[in-house]
Amino acid sequence: MHSFGYRANALLTFAVTILAFICAIASFSDNFSNQTPSAQIQILNINWFQKQPHGNDEVSLTLNITADLQSLFTWNTKQVFAFVAAEYETSKNALNQVSLWDAIIPEKEHAKFWIQISNKYRFIDQGHNLRGKNFNLTLHWHVMPKTGKMFADKIVMSGYRLPNAYR
């Protein structure tokens, strides 16, 4: 009964159980962090705005993004993935989400930032509905833990409008 094999087995089982328990607690502790992220986005310029040869509208923007995501970081946070998406409704689609810019924030020190950038991904509509279109800019974040449950949230900023004519 008390052979080497049994002792090794018992020790391994115990160690794995404790490890799993600690991982679960670490993930659970994320629920108690106090999160107060903030963000502002301005559209500095419409670089160009045109209809592609095959009929889809495409626009290029310069954005000014100010955000403070420091409060998202806890001891179980590996990284925060933040991105800005343009969200709007068209006659064809009930929801369009087009990612314009994203960043991986590996450390808390880099989570308070100010950046001026033109869109990293192409802002193309499915169709030609962008002239005079009202849209939201949403800052989304996805928190990747060292272990356990991932969580995500967003700040919606509304009241942006594209020009009435191509340029």
Number of Cβ within a 10 Å radius of residue 60: 15
Residues 58, 63, 64: CA angle, nearest 5 degrees? 175
What's the closest the beta carbon of residue 92 comes to another protein, in angstroms?
7
Note whether 147 binds another protein by CB under 8 A.
yes
Contact 64, 44 (CB under 8 A): yes
- The site string for another protein over 55-94 (x = CB under 8 A, - otherwise) reads -----------------------xx-x-x-x------xxx
Q: Which is nearer to another protein, 20 or 43 (CB)?
A: 20
Closest CA to 147 of 33, 29, 37: 29
Token pair for 66:
């100010």
Alpha-carbon distance of 28 to 16, in angstroms, equals: 18
- Draw the binding track, 43-62, toward another protein (x: CB under 8 A; -: no contact): --------------------
Binding-site ranges for another protein (CB under 8 A): 1, 5, 23, 27, 78-79, 81, 83, 85, 92-99, 102, 104, 106, 121, 126, 140, 142, 144-150, 152
